[in-house]
C-alpha cells in the first residue's frame, strides 16, 4: 500500500515539477491567510447560487446528467448483483486497501499534504496552491453532498431484509441511511478535478486523476455501500464543485506585447 502511494505521488511530482518551471503567467496566493479561510464562505455561497447564473447549455447539461442518473436507478439492482458476484479475497483487499481510502480522504488529503510539503521545500507556489484548493474543495464538497443525503435518505444496499434500490425514505424518516449520493465519490472527484484542471495541458494527469476517482467510486458499489446511481451522482457533484471552485480561484494573468497602427504597448488580460 505504501509503495503504491509513493509511486503515485512520485509520478505526479515529476510532472508538476516540469510544468511549474514552465508557467510564468499566473499569480497565486498560497498562504493560509485570513482571505484563504474567508474564501471557504465565499465559494460555498457561489456554489449555492450558481444555478441562478447558468445559461441554457448548463441547464441542458444538468438535465441530461439527471436523466442518465434516473435511468441508471432502474438498473441499480442488476448492477449491484453483478458486483456482488465478483467478490473474492483479492478484490476485497484491493477495494479496502487501495481504492476506498481515496474517497475517505486518507489518500487524497495525504496527497494534498505532500503537494504542499513539496511546494514549501522547493519554493513551488503552484504545488502549494493545488494543495490548498484541493483541501478546501474536499471539505466544501462533503458539505454539499450531505444535503441530498438527508433530503432523499435512500436505503443503502445492506439496509433492510434484501437490497432494494427503490427505498427513498425522505427527510422525515426516523432512521438515517443516506446512500444518495456517494460522499466518498463526491469527495475524490472534486479533488481529482482540481488537480486535473490545474495540469490539464499534460494529458495523462487528468487521465490518472479521473481513473483513480472512478475506481474509488466503483469500489463503493463492490463494498455494498452504494448503488451505481449514488456513485454517478457523486461523480457529477464532485466534478461540478471542483470546476466551480477551481474557476473562482483561478485568475490567470498574462502580459502580451501589443502593436497597432498608431501605438504600441503591453496588454494585460486575465481569465476568470
Q: pLDDT tens digits, residue range 180-213?
A: 999 999 999 999 999 999 999 999 999 999 999 9
Q: Is the pTM of this model over 0.85?
A: no
Look at residue 268 and tell me whether its pLDDT is greater than 60.
Answer: no
Contact between 182 and 217 under an 8 Å Cβ cutoff? The reply is yes
pLDDT over 90 (residue 139):
yes
Write down the pLDDT at residue 175.
82
Q: For domain 60-255+266-271, give the CATH number.
A: 1.20.144
Strand locations in the chain (E): 252-259, 264-271
Nearest Cα residue to 166 out of 135, 157, 175:
157
* pLDDT for position 266: 54
Size of the chain, expressed as the number of residues it contains: 272
**Residue 264 pLDDT more than 70?**
no
Q: 23 pLDDT band (50/70/90 cuts)?
A: very low
Q: Specify the pLDDT at position 17.
A: 45
Beta bridge partners of 253: 270
Confidence of residue 31 (pLDDT cuts 50, 70, 90): confident
Q: How confident is the model at residue 24 (pLDDT cuts 50, 70, 90)?
A: very low
User: In this predicted structure, what is the pLDDT of residue 189?
Assistant: 98
| Cell 432502474 -> residue | 74
Question: What is the C-alpha to C-alpha distance for residues 110 and 116, in angstroms, rounded to an integer?
Answer: 10
User: What's the rounded Cα separation, in Å, for the pair 263 and 14?
Assistant: 43
Amino acid at each position: 500500500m505504501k509503495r503504491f502511494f509513493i509511486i503515485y505521488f512520485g509520478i505526479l511530482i515529476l510532472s508538476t515539477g516540469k510544468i511549474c518551471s514552465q508557467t510564468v503567467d499566473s499569480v497565486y496566493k498560497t498562504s493560509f491567510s485570513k482571505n484563504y479561510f474567508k474564501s471557504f464562505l465565499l465559494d460555498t455561497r457561489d456554489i449555492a447560487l450558481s444555478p441562478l447564473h447558468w445559461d441554457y447549455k448548463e441547464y441542458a447539461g444538468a438535465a441530461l446528467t439527471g436523466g442518465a442518473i434516473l435511468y441508471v436507478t432502474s438498473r441499480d439492482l442488476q448492477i449491484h448483483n453483478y458486483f456482488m458476484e465478483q467478490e473474492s479475497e483479492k478484490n476485497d483487499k484491493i477495494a479496502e486497501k487501495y481504492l476506498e481510502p481515496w474517497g475517505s480522504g486518507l489518500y487524497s488529503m495525504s496527497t494534498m499534504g505532500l503537494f504542499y510539503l513539496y511546494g514549501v521545500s522547493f519554493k513551488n507556489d503552484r504545488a502549494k496552491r493545488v494543495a490548498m484548493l484541493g483541501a478546501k474543495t474536499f471539505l466544501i464538497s462533503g458539505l454539499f453532498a450531505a444535503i441530498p443525503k438527508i433530503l432523499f435518505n435512500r436505503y443503502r444496499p445492506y439496509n433492510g431484509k434484501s437490497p432494494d434500490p427503490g427505498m427513498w425514505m425522505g427527510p422525515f424518516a426516523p432512521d438515517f441511511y443516506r446512500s444518495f449520493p456517494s460522499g466518498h465519490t463526491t469527495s475524490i472527484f472534486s479533488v481529482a478535478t482540481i488537480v486535473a484542471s490545474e495540469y490539464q495541458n499534460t494529458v495523462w494527469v487528468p487521465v490518472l486523476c479521473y481513473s483513480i476517482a472512478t475506481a474509488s467510486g466503483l469500489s463503493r458499489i463492490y463494498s455494498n455501500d452504494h448503488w451505481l446511481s449514488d456513485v454517478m451522482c457523486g461523480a457529477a457533484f464532485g466534478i461540478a464543485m471542483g470546476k466551480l471552485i477551481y474557476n473562482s480561484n483561478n485568475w490567470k494573468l498574462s502580459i502580451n506585447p501589443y502593436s497597432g497602427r498608431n501605438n504600441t504597448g503591453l496588454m494585460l488580460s486575465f481569465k476568470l
